[in-house]
Amino acid sequence: MTNPSEGERGRVLYDCMHPLRQRECMNRLLCQVCAKPAETSTGTMFLEWQRPGEGPKDPTRITTDMPPVCSPCLPLSLRHCPFLPDEKTAVLLLVRKSVLSGVSGTLYRIGANGNGWTTSERDVYSSFNKPRYPGMLAQRLHRKLRGVTVMDPDSLPAEVHPTHDQRRVT
């Protein structure tokens, strides 16, 4: 990574997402690659994939922690993202509406006999409409996706191809 004071931003790390950038992109619907507005007049694009051991997802019931992607950055994401092992597992979704739904992170609890702390082995999800876990260190925002259309990346309508300077800021 280069020194930010020199005016350079460093290189893209496709195998991880900085927690602050993830939250900012999810909160403001910014592209996860270029951090410019990803929302268009027809909706917002999200990439989902089938993780090992999971069955196919129902597009009407997806909650995601992956920020959206804009159409100029889509080919780059599909080519370089290590979480998309092959294009058969990647699904491009055009979403009419998405709402912030919760957070996930590490859950800290007091250990046995009141000594020390134990942590959850996996991240824990906490919905905004249910009580949150005390002792959770939240790292990622999640969105529920509604009005989902599965798209073919090779045949996107012109409405989802705005230039970066034509996009509206939300």
> Does residue 75 carry a pLDDT above 60?
yes
> From start to end of 35-83, where are the E strands?
39-40, 43-49, 63-64
Mean pLDDT over 27-54 rounds to 87
Amino acid at 3: N
Report CA-CA distances (Å) from 22 to 19, 31, 53, 98, 138: 5, 10, 25, 15, 12
Q: Where are the domains of the chain?
A: 12-102+143-152
| Amino acid 24: pLDDT | 95
Who's near 120: CB < 8 A, 6+ residues apart?
A: 106, 107
Give pLDDT tens digits for 56-70: 678 788 999 999 999
84 — pLDDT class (breaks 50, 70, 90): low
Cα Rg of the chain (Å, integer): 18
Q: Which residue has the tokens 């496709």?
A: 14
Mean pLDDT over 166-170 rounds to 37
Give pLDDT tens digits for 100-126: 999 999 999 888 887 888 888 888 999
